[in-house]
Structure 1
Amino acid sequence: MGEKGLLSPFMLKSLFWINALGTVYGYYWYWGQLQEVWDTKPAWMVLLVPDSPTASLFFTLAIGWLWLAPERRLSNPNTLIIRSFVEVFAVVTSFKYGIWAVAMIFGGQAQGDILNWQHYMLVASHLGMAAEALLYARFFRVRPGTLAAVAFWTLYNDLADYRFGIYPYLPNVLDDDLTVIQAFTMLLSVTGLCLAWWICGRRKRSK
C-alpha cells in the first residue's frame, strides 16, 4: 500500500480504533496476572506486566498523532520529544511482541500444546501488530535520546520479566525453555531497536 493509502483519514481512523479496542481487550486479558503480581510482588512491577497492550496503547497514540497532526504542527520542543518517544516505543514494542507472541504460540504447539480458536485470533492480531509497526515506521522520527530511553525500558523489561518471574503466561510445555525464551526476547528487542533506528531515522537522513 502506498503512502497516500496508509495516511488516508479512513485508514488512520480505522487503525486508531482497532488498536484502541485491542488495547482494552489486552489489558483485560492480562487482568489475572496483573492482580497476581500486585498481590505478590512490589507494586512497580505491575507496569512491566502487560507487554502487548502497552505496545498497542503507544501505537494508538502514535497513529492518533498522525491523524490529528500529520505535519507535526507542534512548536513545543518538549512535546516533540514526547511524540518521538511514543513513536519509537510503538515501533519497537509492536514489532517485538507481535513476533514474540506468535513464536510462543507455535513453539508451544511444536512441543504438544493444543491450539484453539483463541490462539489463532492472537496469532492474527499479533502479526498485525508487527506488520503495522513496519508499515508506519517510515512516518515516525527517531532521536538519539528517545531511542536510548526506549532501549533502556525494553531491555530492563526483559531482564525483570525473567529475573522476577513476571513474563507473560506461557504454555506449560515451555516452562523448561525459559533461558532460550529470554535470549530470544532480548534478541527481538535489539532487532526492534535497530529497525526503529534504520526505518524511522531514514526519514531524517533523507532531509
Structure 2
Amino acid sequence: MLNWFIYLLKTPFMLWSVLIINILGTVYGYIWYGYQLKETPAIFLIFVPDSPTASLFFVFVLIGFIMKKNFKLFEALAIVTLVKYGIWAVVMNILTLLETGYLPIEGYMLIFSHGAMAVQGVLYSPYYRFTIWHLVIAGVWTLHNDVIDYVFKMMPWYGSLIKYMPQIGYFTFWLSIFSIAIAYYFSVRKDRQKLSLN
C-alpha cells in the first residue's frame, strides 16, 4: 500500500496538484510575513520568511520532477527546511495555545499546513538524488539562519512567545540538527530506497 502511494506521488496529476498547492502556500506565506519584512533590515530579508522559503525550495524540486530532472541542491534545502519549519510552526502554535489559552482559526490552519509541509518533504525522499555535499550546504544554510534568527533577533513574530526567545532558539538549533539527520537518513545513506522519476 505504501509503495503504491509513493509511486502515485510522481504521477503528473499529483505533481501538478502538489506544485499548485505549494505555490499558493508560498505566496500566502510571504504575505503573512509582510509586516515583519517591512521592519527588517535589507541585509536580513532573505532569512526572515522561513516557511515560505522552504516551500519555495520545494516548488523548484517539483518543477524539476515534472521535467524528469533532479535539482539536487534544492532537494537538500527543501527536505531540511520543510521538516524543520514544518515542525517548528506546529510547536510554536501549540505553545501559543498553551500560553494564551486561545488560538485563532489561522493558528489551526498553520498547524495543519505546516505539518503537511514536513510530511511531504519526507514522502518525496525516494526520488531525491542529492549527495552529502549538497546536504552540507543545506545544513550550513539552516544553521546560519538560526544565528540570524536568534543572535540578530530576526525570528518570526509570535507575540507572547517572544519572552521565551532563548529557549526557543535552543530548541530550534536542535531541531535543525534533527532535520539534517532526517535528510541524511531518507536521502543520502547508501541503503536507502531509490525510485526513478521515469
TM-score strictly above 0.5: yes
In 2: Cα distance, 1:137 partner to 1:4 partner: 12
What are the Cα deviations for residues 40-71 of structure 1, in whole angstroms up to 9, with x where unaligned?
x3x221111000000000111111111221xx
The alignment's C-alpha RMSD in Å is 1.6
**SS state at 2:39 partner:** helix
Q: 2:170 aligns with which of 170, 173, 183?
A: 183
Q: 2:77 aligns with which of 84, 89, 94?
A: 89
**1:142 and 1:68 mapped to 2: Cα distance?**
17
1:165 aligns with 2:147: no
Instruction: Assess if the C-alpha contact under 8 Å between 1:113 and 1:171 holds in 2.
Output: no
Counterpart residue number, 2:15: 12
CA distance in 1, matches of 2:190, 2:28: 33
**1:55 maps to what in 2?**
54
1:63-119 alpha-carbon deviations (Å, 9 max, x no partner): 1111221xx3xxxxxxx6xx2110010000011101000100111111124211111
**Further displaced range: 142-151 or 128-137:** 142-151
Distance 1:176 1:141 in 2: 41
1:205 shift after superposition: 6.0
- Aligned partner of 1:103 in structure 2 is 91
| Aligned equivalents of 1:138, 1:166: Cα separation in 2 | 34
Q: In structure 1, list runs of 5 or more residues that go unmatched.
A: 73-79
Correspondence 1:1-207 to 2 at 5 A: 1=2, 2-37=5-40, 41=41, 43-69=42-68, 72=69, 83-172=71-160, 174-202=161-189
Aligned equivalents of 1:185, 1:128: Cα separation in 2: 19
1:139–1:203 CA contact under 8 A, matched in 2 = no
Structure 2 runs not aligned, ≥5 long: none
Q: Is the 8 Å Cα contact of residues 26 and 52 (structure 2) preserved in structure 1?
A: yes
TM-score (norm 1): 0.87
Does the 8 A contact of 1:84 with 1:141 survive in 2? yes
For residue 138 of structure 1, what is the amino acid of its counterpart? P
CA contact (8 A) 1:20 1:60 kept: yes
Contact kept? 1:141, 1:204, Cα under 8 Å: no
Q: 1-side partners of 2:91 and 2:192: how far apart?
A: 33
8 A contact 2:48–2:155 mirrored in 1: yes
Q: TM-score, normalised by structure 2?
A: 0.91
